[in-house]
Amino acid sequence: MLVCLCLAAIVALILINAEKSSLDKIKQEGRITILTRNSPTTYYEGPDGKTGFEYDLARLFADYLGVDLKIQLPESFNDLFPMINGNQADLIAAGLTVTEPRKSLVRFAPPYQDITQQLIYRLGDKRPKSVEDIIGGRLEVVAGSSFEERLRDLKAEYPELNWVASEAQDVENLLQKIAGGEIDYTVVDSNEFEHHLRFYPELRVAFDISEPQQLAWAFRTDRQDDALYNAAVEFFNEIQQNGTLTRLLERHYSYVQGYKPVETTLFLKHVQERLPPYKFMFMEAGATFGFDWRLLAALAFQESHWLTNAVSPTGVRGMMMLTERTAGQMKVMNRLDARESIIGGAAYLKLLHDKLPEDIYEPDRTWMALAAYNVGAGHLEDARKITESQGGDPHKWIDVRKHLPLLSKREWYKKTRFGYARGREPVVYVRNIRRYYDILIWLDERIEPEKTPQYTTSSDAIISASMPPSL
C-alpha cells in the first residue's frame, strides 16, 4: 500500500511538472540560460565583469523575469540552432539576423536593430564595386552565418562566385586575415564593423552586399508553449516604449559612429613613438587615484597628443593641459613636467568624479567627469539641469550629452548659473577619449593575449564600481 502511494505521488509530481510552461520552470529554477557568442557587439568579459550589448539586453530581461542570468557559449556559430532546439538553453541572444531559412529553425522575437551586410576589403587593394569584381578573389566568411546564406543567394545569379566557410574563424579573425593579406574579402554586419574599424584602420567597406536586415532573439519553435516567448514580446514592447532600448543602443554604438580611420593611424603612430616613456607614469597615477591607466593615457592624448610642452592659446599647458588655477589646486609646481602633469590631471579627474551626485553610476559617472574636465563642473551641472527640465535623465550621459550643445544658445544659457559654454566640445571630447581608450585596451590584448580574455574590455567598464540593473 505504501509503495503504491509513493508511486502515485511520483506520478503526480511528474504530471505537474509536465504541465508547467517553460517560463514557470525558469522562475522555479530562478535562472534563464542564453546562448550567445564572444564579440564586441554581443558578449565579452571585461575587468569589471561581463558586458556587451546582447549581454546587457539579456540581463535586463532576466531582471524583468526576476531570475538570474546564465551565459552559454557554443563551440561554433553552427551549434546555435541545434543547441536551442535541443533544449540546452532558453533563447539565443547572439546578434542573429532574421532570414527566411532561419524562420523554419527558430521563432524570432520582435526585432531590436537594423543592420546591413557589408563586403570588407583592405585599403590599397583595388576596391570592388560589385559582386562581379570579387569573383576569383579569396573570400572567407563565418560558417552557418547569414553571410553564407546571402552568398548562396548571390551564387544563383553569379555561378562562378565561390568562398570558404570557416567554423574555426570568427569575424575578428577574418578581419585580421584581410589586414594581414591572407584573404581578400569577408562579409560583416554593419554594426559589428563599426566597432572593429577603430582597430583596423586599413580596412574599408567596399559595398553593401544585402538590403537592410533586422536582428532579433531566437526561441524554440514549440508553438504549444508560448509563455516565455510572450514574455519576451512584452519585454521588448516595454523597453521600446520607455526608451530603454534606445538608450542601450546609444550606449553601445553611438560613440563609434562617424569615426574616421585616419584617426587610428595617427594614434597608433604616437602609441609607438610617444607613449612608452610615460606609460609607467600613467600606471602610477591610475593606481593612486583608482582609474584604468589607459583611460588616463587616452585623456592625455586627447589633451596634448602626449606632448609635455603643449601650450594652448588660452594658457593651459603640459601633458594634461592644466590651467594655472587647476595646477595650483592640485599642487602641481611645473605643468611642463610630465609626471607632475599626469598626477595632477588624474587628481583633478578624481576630484570631479567624486563631486558628482552619488546616484550617478558607472560608466555615466566617468563620462560626465571627463566632460567636466573639458567644459567645467559648473557648465556640466547647468547641462544636467537643462536635461532634467526637458524630460531627460540627468544621471545618464546619453541624455546629458544631447543637451550640452544648448549651452552655446542664448535662449538656453541665459537661464543657467554659469552662462555660455561651447557645449559641443565636451561631447566630441568624451567620444574621442572613449575611442582612444578602447584602442589602448585592444593593443594590450594583442601584446599579452595570455593575460587577457579574447575581448578584454570596452569603454563601458572604466573603474571599479558597480552598475545598477537599470540602464
Going by pLDDT thresholds of 50, 70 and 90, the confidence category of residue 314 is low
Going by pLDDT thresholds of 50, 70 and 90, the confidence category of residue 256 is low
Going by pLDDT thresholds of 50, 70 and 90, the confidence category of residue 44 is confident
pLDDT digits (tens, 9 = 90+) for 447-464: 654 443 333 334 443 433
CB of 300 closer than 8 Å to CB of 319 = yes
Q: Which candidate, 281, 439, 303, places its Cα nearest to that of 370?
A: 303
Q: And the C-alpha cell for 54?
A: 546582447
What pLDDT shows up at residue 31? Answer: 95
What pLDDT shows up at residue 157? Answer: 93
pLDDT digits (tens, 9 = 90+) for 203-240: 899 999 999 999 999 999 876 788 999 999 999 999 99
Instruction: Identify the burial level of 336 via C-beta atoms within 10 angstroms of its C-beta, where 0-12 means exposed, 13-18 middle and 19 or more buried.
Output: middle
Q: Which of the residues are catalytic?
A: 303
Percent of the residues in the chain that have a pLDDT greater than 90, as a whole number? 60
What 3-state class would DSSP assign to 470?
Answer: coil
What pLDDT shows up at residue 19? Answer: 63
Tell me the whole-structure pTM to 2 decimals.
0.65
Higher pLDDT, 85 or 13: 85
The amino acid sitting at 73 is L
What pLDDT shows up at residue 173? Answer: 83
DSSP state of 248: H
The residues near 25 (Cβ < 8 Å, ≥ 6 apart) are: 17
Mean pLDDT, range 157-167, rounded to an integer? 93
* Integer CA distances (angstroms), 31 to 28, 63, 222, in order: 8, 10, 20
Instruction: Identify the burial level of 109 via C-beta atoms within 10 angstroms of its C-beta, where 0-12 means exposed, 13-18 middle and 19 or more buried.
Output: buried
